[in-house]
Amino acid sequence: MIDITEKVDYKEYSREGVKEATGEVVVEMPLTIYVDKEELVTLLCTPERMDYLALGFLWSEGVINTPDEVKKIVVDEEKGAVWVDAAIDREFIKEMMFKRLITSGCGKGTTFYSVVDKVSAQPVVSDIKVTPEQVLDLMSKFQETSHLYKETHGVHSAALCTPDEILTFREDIGRHNAIDKILGECFMSGTALKDKVMLTSGRISSEVLLKTAKKGIPVLVSRTSPTALAVRLAGKLGVTLIGFVRGGKMRVYNHNERVNSEQ
């Protein structure tokens, strides 16, 4: 059994100062599903009952329809792979895979994970400094700004900020869409990203971390939790990863050299 949580060290900043601490974050890992030895898809998941996840996914997608069709299932938890031996309609699968639809929770291709190692060769470089007070204030403003959330409780939000103020704020039913809306605006306006802070309302998965790190954003902040994979990638990619910004406190998981608690 793979652990589904992982202990990580962080620094807890508050208006009173800094202290070292350790906490649990959820493990996130890629699971590649092979059907009849052919690679079908890679999901990012919590490594628990990967067999059920693979079968449920294949059943949801209409790849398998009855238990009789599944002749064998082999799970390699360490590798993050499930091999399903099943009688399937290859043409249907090809069609399905090709016409894939990106849903509100996501928004990306395999380009990320196949190039994690390549990406890691280009860490984010930035001289930006933030104080804990600035981060706490940005998060307060961020939460005040979210009218649509207040109205419907159905959206995620993201904001691009200087250490002192929110420059752009966007909302969407999809976590990644909210960030992509901000990136799209910066793409057109030519706004520099290497001296900015990105705030997100959702937890920080590896995808969110990679999406912003690839564009050189040095500080990524959430009111909630990062995954273990996001913490590890932030370390490699030179990103200052800040979570649990609430109640006058914040946890800095990596690259706290950009957090200046002396004013």
Alpha carbon dihedral 44, 228, 197, 178, in 10-degree steps, equals 20
> What's the min distance (Å) between Cβ of 207 and its own copies?
5
Q: In whole angstroms, what is the distance from residue 234 CA to residue 252 CA?
A: 11
> What's the min distance (Å) between Cβ of 6 and its own copies?
9
Using a 10 angstrom Cβ sphere, with 0-12 exposed, 13-18 middle and 19 or more buried, the burial of residue 105 is middle
Which is nearer to its own copies, 220 or 258 (by Cβ)? Answer: 220
> What residues contact residue 182 under an 8 Å CB cut-off, 6+ apart?
158, 159, 160, 168, 170, 198
Which is nearer to its own copies, 145 or 261 (by Cβ)? Answer: 145
Which is nearer to its own copies, 128 or 148 (by Cβ)? Answer: 148
Q: Is 161 a catalytic residue?
A: no
Which of these is catalytic: 45, 106, 161, 186? 106
Which is nearer to its own copies, 174 or 218 (by Cβ)? Answer: 174
- Residues found in the chain: 263
> What's the min distance (Å) between Cβ of 257 and its own copies?
25
Which is nearer to its own copies, 185 or 195 (by Cβ)? Answer: 185
> What's the min distance (Å) between Cβ of 22 and its own copies?
13
Q: How many CB atoms lie within 10 A of CB 157?
A: 23
What does each C-alpha distance from 248 to 40, 67, 148, 211, 245 come to in angstroms? 45, 52, 24, 28, 7
Q: Do residues 238 and 255 make contact, with C-beta atoms less than 8 angstroms apart? A: yes
Token match 């399937």: residue? 88
> What's the min distance (Å) between Cβ of 262 and its own copies?
30
Q: So which residues are the catalytic ones?
A: 106
